[in-house]
Amino acid sequence: MENEAAKGAKIFLKDGVLYIQSTASLVNKAYVGYDKITVLSVDSSTESIGETVKLTFDSYVIDAPVPEKYSDLLKPLIKRAKQKSWIGFVSRAKLVIAWFDAKNKEIVFEPTKNNLNRGFSGLLKSYFRIPATSTDEEIGQAVLKALELCE
């Protein structure tokens, strides 16, 4: 598959709901959350969560157009979460970024720190990897573990 290393997902947890968002690399090479968003209860089976993450990896977009305003990229997520603004969405939210490392054949999980209106920052000390051959259940378990590591 072309540019497999770009496969990724942004996994937000807010008020007991998971928002699993596809990613895209823009023509200017920026890497962003994109328009496909799947919503699941955090109480869904770990197998369902893992399967959704894998399906989201497969929906990534390469060379998407650069929007006039980067804030436009947030609108689908804000709308899907029924929030009025990004600040409203990130309040009490957690974010895990997951991506497929084609070189090492692993899935990488990056828990983040919520800096509220300044966005999220990665917690390098908390990154972890699992084999790309992991089952859906193992991927779902890894998502929940990464969410627990968020600050």
Mean pLDDT over the full length of the chain: 89
- Which range marks the domain in which residue 47 is found? 4-149
pLDDT number for residue 2: 45
Per-residue pLDDT tens digits for 105-115? 999 999 999 99
Which token pair is 97? 């970024």
pLDDT number for residue 47: 98
pLDDT number for residue 13: 98
Sign, CA torsion 76/82/99/134: negative
Higher pLDDT, 33 or 6: 33
Q: Is the pLDDT of residue 10 over 60?
A: yes
pLDDT number for residue 29: 66
Query: Which residues are paired to 17 by β-bridges?
Result: 14, 41
Closest CA to 75 of 17, 33, 15: 33
Q: Which of 8-22, 41-55, 71-85 has the lowest mean pLDDT?
A: 71-85
Residues in the chain: 151
Closest CA to 67 of 99, 30, 38, 37: 30
Give me the CATH number covering residue 33. 3.40.1590.10
- pLDDT above 70 covers a percentage of the chain that reads 93
pLDDT number for residue 1: 36
Per-residue pLDDT tens digits for 53-83? 999 998 877 777 878 887 888 888 999 999 9
Q: Is the pLDDT of residue 39 over 90?
A: yes
Q: How many domains does the chain have?
A: 1
